[in-house]
Amino acid sequence: MSELAQSVAALRFLSEIGADEAVNDDPTDWTAVGARARRPTPPPAAPVQQPARAPARPAGNLDGAPLGTAESAQMARAAAGAAKTLDELKAALAAFEGCALKHTATNLVFADGNPQARVMLVGEAPGEQEDRQGLPFVGPAGMLLDRMLACVGLDRKAEDPAKAVYITNMLPWRPPGNRSPTDGEIAACLPFMERHIELMKPDLLVFLGGISAKSLLARPEGITRLRGRWFEYKAPGMAAAVPAMPMLHPAYLLRNPVAKREAWKDWLALSERLG
């Protein structure tokens, strides 16, 4: 195999296992690090006076919420609750340190579309294209979503609130390699999502895929049982509930085109409800 072919194969392997983000500017030669670690330990040096240490923080869990899920969610609730506008909420998310995904993502992906729209769509998490552009649903799944919206007369770019949609995701940062979000990441960011809905005040909600449907409706069923049904969604700070329909995720439809039949029924039901 030529050197080029070997490099391409190595890159493909890394991409397939999800190692597709550079986390340091300079590469680390882990084989040399391993060799250093195996060297015999030198005799102990004379004791050195240690500076006073900061009080120990609670150990972070390994679930994507660096402070521990409960602590992260508490911080998120305080920060999100203080936001009085969507712009303030975006700034609060950008400053939030309770979700480790922020440090592997390229961009914060907050929302796209018309904030005056009657319909708010909530997806799962940004993918590669979304992470690069800082906008939700701009990759292949987003293109299919735009086509489905157009079929029922909706458009994320429309100025008329009756024809527009507003689009966001449960997580504002891309999980590395597009892996599924962990429960800890969802729990840490949930207060921001709840506040997002409170501030946006949609007439109707659409949950795209099982992650947003199950997290926001707190239901145990999978998306194939939830899709196409109307539920009532009420965030803690909302005076009244909003009708919400879970639908199949466009990325799922790309992998399972026969399921587009079901998706079409759901979009028609939404269109009917919008009158």
Closest distance between ligand URA and the C-beta of residue 216, in Å? 13
Distances (CA, A) of 171 to 83, 129, 135, 187, 213: 18, 15, 12, 10, 13
Inter-CA distances, 96 with 54, 55, 57, 65, 130, Å: 21, 21, 17, 11, 20
Q: Which of 59, 72, 70, 141 is nearest to 101 (CA)?
A: 72
Q: Which is nearer to ligand URA, 126 or 191 (CB)?
A: 126
Shortest distance (Å) from residue 139 CB to ligand URA? 6
Residue 204's DSSP bridge partners are: 119
Residue nearest ligand URA, CB atom distance: 123
Closest distance between ligand URA and the C-beta of residue 66, in Å? 23
Q: CB 2 → ligand URA: shortest distance, Å?
A: 36
Q: What character string, x for contact with ligand URA (CB under 6 A) and - otherwise, covers 96-125?
A: ---------------------------xxx
Residue 267 to residue 228: CA distance in whole angstroms: 9
Q: Which of residues 234-253 bind ligand URA (CB under 6 A)?
A: 251
Instruction: Identify which of residues 75 and 146 has a Cβ nearer to ligand URA in the complex.
Output: 146
Interaction with ligand URA in 121-180: which residues (CB under 6 A)? 123-127, 130, 136-137, 139, 141-142, 169
Nearer Cβ to ligand URA (110/233): 110
Residue type, 3: E
> 230-247 burial, b for 16+ CB within 10 Å, e for fewer?
ebebebeeeeeebebbbb
**How many residues make up the chain in this entry?**
275
In the complex, least distance from residue 140 CB atom to ligand URA, rounded to whole angstroms = 9
# residues contacting ligand URA (CB under 6 A)? 13
- List, in sequence order, every residue forming a beta bridge with 155; answer none if it has no partner: 164
Q: Measured from the CB atom, is 71 or 252 closer to ligand URA?
A: 252
Looking at residue 179, the DSSP 8-state letter turns out to be: P
Which tokens belong to 66? 């660096």
CB of 124 to ligand URA, least distance (A): 3
Is residue 64 near ligand URA by the rule CB under 6 A?
no
Give the footprint of ligand URA on this chain (CB under 6 A).
Answer: 123-127, 130, 136-137, 139, 141-142, 169, 251
